[in-house]
A = this chain, B = another copy of it.
Amino acid sequence: MVSKMKRLLIGRPMKNSELEGEKLSKLKALAVLSSDALSSVAYGTEQILIVLMAVGAAAAWYSIPISLAVLGLLVILIFSYRQTIYSYPTGGGAYIVAKDNIGLSSGLLAGGSLLVDYILTVAVSSSAGTDAITSAFPVLHDYRVLIALTMILLLTILNLRGITESASVLALPVYLFVFAIIVLIITGFIKYAMGGAEPAVPVEWGSAANNVSLFLLLKAFSSGCSALTGVEAVSNAIPNFRAPAEKNAAKTLIMMGSILGFMFIGISLLAYWYGIIPSEKETVVSQIANSVFGRGTIYYIIQGVTALILFLAANTAYSAFPLLAFMLAKDKFMPHMFLVRGDRLGYSNGIIFLGVLSAILVIAFHGNTEGLIPLYAVGVFIPFTLSQLGMMIRWIKLKPSGWHVKLLINTIGMLTTLSITLIFIFTKFSQVWAVFIFLPLVIWIFMRIHRHYIHVADQLRINIQEEKLQIKGSTVVVPIGGITSVVRNSLSYAKSLTDNVVAVYVGFDDDSIHKMEEKWEVWNPGVRLITLKSSYRSIVKPLIKFIDTVEWKKNETDHITILIPQFITKHWWQYVLHNQTSLLLRAYLFRHKDVVISTVTYHLDK
């Protein structure tokens, strides 16, 4: 039943050899990897305007230079990451670049920061998508958490089905969104140029607004920078690209950058020209669409695809998280389970882990995860900075042809991202302080896991030239509760292995022990019976004491086998009807003794 459900939801299992078919073409990669970055268009301009409005509407014109600054930063990031892609064709996430060039701790800092960030992305995006839905249908407001969780569940299932299939499903909304926004921008430009846009007049360029401090401008700039989160997704995911992976990845990155830059600056200009002021009740994009098209079909299409892409932004994390977890697991900083490809060749454990953790966040915050946005932005810029720094060190070390230009690009990148990180921390400390708790914690966990794996490997390693098998004698102890077919079966097995077999019976009174001994004599299986009397009604404790004695007496070179007769009921619910002595005994021995624990199963027919 469970396995049928799984087939239905996830699809048939795929062979290893089908892996290449799962890789992404440029266009599909754009859909899968850019929804996070592109969706920023829906709120980037708005974030800037909200900060500026704090000092009055006259400051609105500052949004244009700030947007240009963000655009400049985007260009810097795109060029920096293009260099990373060519240097790390097997996948150059911040973790790899920082680890390779700066050192392990920086790598872990970048990796841990990104891992937590992907979880935040899913939680924040699914909540934002839900808000878009409940804005359109207010009756659904009470079901916010449920809707967000359903979205997370859907994304998880989609990603478990495999990358290509989810790309096919996700491509359409992304393309629709890009198309819709471009149509909006072009129509808006034309309408403005023809002087047809006069519901509101833009504030004059260069108007003197009061109280515009540097702090405010920096805060507005850093808010606008949240539009840049998601740009790193391409360089993390190079192994998912079809060959030649690095070229395709670089082209995809440039495509994404161009589209994002065009849309972002376009929306900012329209917002300025149409004199739009951010409002609690209506988003900036919605106001622009309203001004340009009025509340008609086109307006609702734009709103619909915007809601959809906000929701799909979470999908970027679903591509990036499992890959990063895989790389950390390969280096023994995360559990091995993140190494395993599932039935559909995705790293299922990473996908499920991401889904569960973000679902927990959504539940914990009752679907109001907006407060996490700055935390999530700072969590992106830390690895950005480390990655750029790593590239700088790399150029200085390797000195390839033209390395001065490359170093310059990455240096500019590093300085800007570092500045933004610091601006975030200084202007929004009350919202991002948690980063100083969870990052050290995550890194500490990485270290503990790593140490454990190293210890285990040390203990398991043998010298195959010298350490051969050691043949020893064997003592088999069979705990019995009576003379039954299961006991007969177990003793037959034990006697087949060795003559050194002891049956142990635990009785609660002299009477039952005496009866057992008499019956044993009649049966006469050729096995010595030891009877123990338990004063405390426990079967396990006297048995363990007896096993201790056997262990103590045994020849140094003897194996001890505890052979547990066990019948298996036909239906699982019948299991509770029988006492779980053997389970307790097995659990105890498992943890505490270096013995062999054997179970002779005997399946009942009815």
Contacts and interface: CB of A to CB of B under 8 A. Distances in A.
Given A336-B577, A495-B471, A522-B464, A508 B455 contact: no
A215 B519 CA distance: 65
Contacts of A452: 569, 574, 577
A459 B483 contact: no
Contacts of A484: 460-462
A437 B139 CA distance: 39
Nearest to A578: B336
Contacts of A576: 335, 337
Contact of A16 (B491, B508, B603, B605): B508
Interface string A331-343: 0000111001111
A464 B577 contact: no
A525 B578 CA distance: 42
Interface in A273-305: none
A130 B567 CA distance: 47
Given A484-B460, A577-B453, A343 B604 contact: no
Interface stretch (A37-45, A59-67, A77-85, A586-594): A586-594
Interface string A515-528: 00001001111110
Given A340-B579, A464-B519, A598 B598 contact: yes
User: By CB atoms of chain B within 10 A, which of A455, A469, A576, A597 has the most?
Assistant: A469
Interface string A465-477: 1011111111000
Contacts of A483: 462, 464
Given A459-B604, A509-B16, A590-B568, A523 B579 contact: no
Given A464-B483, A471-B492, A568 B597 contact: no
B525 A468 contact: yes
Given A485-B461, A577-B453, A596 B593 contact: no
A213 to B, nearest CB: 49
Complex copy number for this chain: 2
B497 A497 contact: yes
Chain A interface size range: 35 or more
A559 interface: yes
A599 interface: yes
A492 B558 CA distance: 11
A496 interface: yes
A187 interface: no
A460 B490 CA distance: 13
Given A336-B577, A343-B536, A596 B591 contact: no
A313 to B, nearest CB: 30
A599 B597 contact: yes
Given A336-B577, A536-B13, A596-B600, A492 B509 contact: no
A330 interface: no
Contacts of A569: 452, 456
A597 B601 contact: yes
A335 B577 contact: yes
A430 interface: no
Contact of A485 (B460, B492, B577, B597): B460
A456 B606 CA distance: 8
A472 B498 contact: no
A602 interface: yes
A578 B87 CA distance: 33
A595 interface: yes
Given A16-B508, A497-B474, A596 B598 contact: yes
A488 interface: yes
A15 interface: yes
A337 B606 CA distance: 21
A333 to B, nearest CB: 11
A171 to B, nearest CB: 27
A482 to B, nearest CB: 8
Contacts of A472: 492-493, 496
Nearest to A472: B496
A495 B469 contact: yes
Given A535-B15, A598-B561, A601-B596, A462 B474 contact: no
A493 B577 CA distance: 35
A468 B470 CA distance: 34
B522 A465 contact: yes
A15 B536 contact: yes
Contacts of A561: 598
Contact of A460 (B486, B496, B559, B596): B486
A601 B590 contact: yes
A210 interface: no
Given A462-B485, A496-B471, A604 B456 contact: yes
Contacts of A589: 601
Nearest to A558: B496
Contacts of A599: 590, 596-598
Interface string A9-53: 000011111000000000000000000000000000000000000
Nearest to A603: B594
Nearest to A482: B460
5 contacts: A452-B577, A460-B567, A469-B491, A594-B601, A596-B600
A-B pairs with lowest CB-CB distance, top 4: A460-B484, A598-B598, A464-B523, A15-B535
Given A15-B535, A590-B601, A594-B602, 17 more contacts: A13-B536, A16-B509, A16-B536, A336-B577, A342-B537, A452-B574, A460-B484, A469-B525, A469-B526, A472-B493, A472-B496, A473-B496, A493-B596, A590-B599, A596-B601, A597-B598, A598-B599
